[in-house]
Structure 1
Amino acid sequence: MSLPGNYLDGRSQIGKAVMLQRNVHHLVFTDGVHTHRYPAREVSFHPGRAGRPDRLQLPDGGIIEVASAYQCQQLTGHLPLAARLLEGLRRCWPQLRLAGLLLLLLACWFGYRNGLPWLASEAARRTPPAVEQAMASATLGLLEKTSTLRPSRLPDSRQQALQQQLQQLVPGNSPYRYHLQLVDARELGPDIIPLPGGQIIVTDQLVRNSKSPLEMQAMLAHAVGHIEARHGLRGLIRSGGVSLAVNLFGGDRSTLLAVAPILLADMKYPADFEAEADAYASRLLGTQSLCARDALLVRLDGPDHSAAALLAAHPGNRQADTASHCAAQAG
């Protein structure tokens, strides 16, 4: 930045037009012939009075008259603190604008990553169980239309035993009435689908592939863990985003009931939901039950891919290290 001024050397009353500049820690000015340099800290600023120009007092007695007090103070480093801060903001504005944009993007990402799950949990907590039961009924109706679901062919005694197993896994303070919907579903293959409100769909194909009561008990306990934690409803709200959660807070559940059957019929729970369901089953039946469940999943992971839907919902439970750990624990 350059600033014009009138230089008086203190010996002559005739001034010279000069251009002032700031060079790091020095004030430099030239009249086109001679160049003068003074340490900026030794130059003092004096505001003009009664229409007189502002002045810079040089250490050798010379004076420079200037027309712009602000630019003069800026050159000599005598700006007030507030003005220096504003000037710094002006110079750094492009960088500050970029930093603000990055902070906004970071806040949006953090809000989506952490705020939306919290919002989904709160909205689910405020949703009555009757709404979840309506969602489950609509989902079952959709599955009956799109898949070949037939009445279970399991013996009555086996069906009753499974129903009793399920009731033993339900906590006493549960707000839901649990029911096991056993179906013969060759198209679905071995599968278990926990629906909100306490309804669990289990295919005959899954029951027939289990080799011990503990394997089915572990699968049922895992499903109950999903329902008690309201994972189906929370997963729907996460998928629907902030607008769906806000609608639920406002009491509007029509959108939720409209999208629930489509999403619930093929829902894959995230890793944190799976961990919560595993923790519930482990508290009820011990860690050995998880090993029994994993053994069943490993056995179903065959070349015919008949249990593709079930295995896709539990991608981390059939790894070789999991199976070896469970085998070592059993030994």
Structure 2
Amino acid sequence: MQSRTVSAFYFDGKTSRRYAVELTVDAGIAYLSGEVQRQAPITELRVSERVSRAARKVTFPDGAYLEIADVDAFAELLASTGYQDSLVVRMQQSWRTTLQATAALIVILVLGYVYLLPAASGVIANALPESVERRIGADTLEFLDQRMLSASTLPKSEQDAIISRFRALRPPAQDAPDYQIIFRKSKIGPNAFALPSGEIVVTDELVRRLDDDDALMGVLAHELGHLHRRHLMRRLIQASAVGTAAAVLFGDASTLIATIPPLVLDLKYSRDIELEADDYAIAMFKANGISLKKLAYTFEKLDSEPTGFSPYLSTHPPSKERIDRILKAQAE
């Protein structure tokens, strides 16, 4: 078989000078001729990966190397020696394989987001230091106070009565977290939410809208369920997974914390998380002998906003199924 010759430029790896050479392979030996003469077994040479039309590089054991611009001729020379690119390189050059790999990656990412990330978020949430949760809560409340909230106009006696009434209720589990109920006047209407640091924020508009102590206890029990199960922290971690991973790995939570206050305003709980908080409120009502019809009334009342839009239910999505589920628990 006639040996193939390919033009190349040779660099000695010590200077920037290049030498015009021709590469020939015969009987497993690579020969250079031209401005440089040398030879080496092809088994000692390293060939760079094939990347589109880019020049290929052949490196000698001592660091000298060849640059070969005629990639087609070089590919024929390689084929004549029995050389074959690695499986990974061959896959990269195949559009079909690339599309298949892309599709597989998308499937893996979707499955990871749906199943792995929620599970991992719970582990991460439990592992985060209490100081991080306190800072998140403080920064979030400060952000909201500057933009969306203001001092409550509810009489202090009414605030104290609500707090005392809820404090008198027995939580459904022994390890209930410490919490603090705070009141704010709101630009976003009737609403309530629990911060990771333990604050349950209740707006004046929500208190006036419900106008029923037991119904308000339902909202507070639901929010305590979110707090007890660390739902907000888990959702924040899922919504900012990359930043959270960096915070856990490198011990710097500043980037994550900076993105959280705006995120809280736009956060929506999943159906499973909502049902879990509903179950917590149901258990709390049952433990204290309060009719679950009052809990169902809470959602019915908020869902009947005159404007047709409830800020509270925009982040705590209502459904007839949830109300029916609460009433079914009443009958059990």
* Same fold, TM-score > 0.5, yes or no: yes
In 1, the alpha carbon distance for the partners of 2:313 and 2:191 equals: 9
Deviation at 1:316, TM superposition (A): 2.8
SS at match of 1:149: strand
In 1, the alpha carbon distance for the partners of 2:229 and 2:162 equals: 22
**Deviation readout 1:166-215 (Å, 9 max, x if unpaired):** 333555434x4311111233x22211111112101111221223243321
The equivalent of 1:108 in structure 2 is 109
The equivalent of 1:247 in structure 2 is 247
User: What is the 5 A alignment of 1:13-92?
Assistant: none
Q: Given residue 241 of structure 1, which amino acid in structure 2 is its aligned partner?
A: A
The equivalent of 1:120 in structure 2 is 121
**Deviation readout 1:132-180 (Å, 9 max, x if unpaired):** 1211111111111112412332351x32222123333555434x43111
In 1, the alpha carbon distance for the partners of 2:130 and 2:221 equals: 20
Deviation at 1:268, TM superposition (A): 1.7
SS at match of 2:181: strand
Is residue 160 of structure 1 aligned with residue 189 of structure 2?
A: no
The 1:224/1:249 distance shift into structure 2, 3 A limit, reads farther
Q: Given residue 173 of structure 1, which amino acid in structure 2 is its aligned partner?
A: D
Deviation at 1:104, TM superposition (A): 3.3
Structure 2: gaps of 5 or more residues: 1-90
- Size of the alignment, in residue pairs? 237
Deviation at 1:125, TM superposition (A): 0.8
Across the aligned residues of Structure 1 and Structure 2, the Cα RMSD in angstroms comes to 3.3
The 1:132/1:326 distance shift into structure 2, 3 A limit, reads same
Is residue 311 of structure 1 aligned with residue 308 of structure 2?
A: no
The 1:136/1:289 distance shift into structure 2, 3 A limit, reads farther
The 1:258/1:97 distance shift into structure 2, 3 A limit, reads closer
SS at match of 2:206: helix
Larger Rg, first or second structure (1 or 2): 1
Q: Specify which of 254, 277, 301 is matched with residue 299 of structure 1.
A: 301
The equivalent of 2:57 in structure 1 is none
The equivalent of 1:144 in structure 2 is 145
SS at match of 2:314: helix
The equivalent of 1:192 in structure 2 is 192
The equivalent of 2:236 in structure 1 is 236
The 1:244/1:155 distance shift into structure 2, 3 A limit, reads closer
Q: Given residue 298 of structure 1, which amino acid in structure 2 is its aligned partner?
A: E
Structure 1: gaps of 5 or more residues: 1-89
Give aligned-pair identity as a percent.
Answer: 29
Given that 1:154 and 1:204 are in contact with CA atoms closer than 8 Å, whether structure 2 keeps it comes out as no
In 1, the alpha carbon distance for the partners of 2:212 and 2:310 equals: 22
SS at match of 2:202: strand
SS at match of 1:116: helix
Is residue 129 of structure 1 aligned with residue 133 of structure 2?
A: no
The 1:329/1:275 distance shift into structure 2, 3 A limit, reads closer
In 2, the alpha carbon distance for the partners of 1:169 and 1:328 equals: 19
In 2, the alpha carbon distance for the partners of 1:184 and 1:111 equals: 40
In 1, the alpha carbon distance for the partners of 2:210 and 2:203 equals: 12
User: What is the 5 A alignment of 1:250-329?
Assistant: 250-286=250-286, 291-302=293-304, 304-305=306-307, 308-317=310-319, 319=320, 322=323, 326=327
SS at match of 2:240: helix
The 1:161/1:138 distance shift into structure 2, 3 A limit, reads same
Given that 2:189 and 2:205 are in contact with CA atoms closer than 8 Å, whether structure 1 keeps it comes out as yes
Given that 2:139 and 2:261 are in contact with CA atoms closer than 8 Å, whether structure 1 keeps it comes out as yes
Given that 2:299 and 2:323 are in contact with CA atoms closer than 8 Å, whether structure 1 keeps it comes out as no
**Deviation readout 1:263-297 (Å, 9 max, x if unpaired):** 12342211121111112112221397654233223
TM-score normalised to structure 2 length: 0.61
Q: Given residue 216 of structure 1, which amino acid in structure 2 is its aligned partner?
A: L
Q: Which runs of 4+ in 1 moved over 6 A?
A: 93-97
The 1:219/1:238 distance shift into structure 2, 3 A limit, reads same
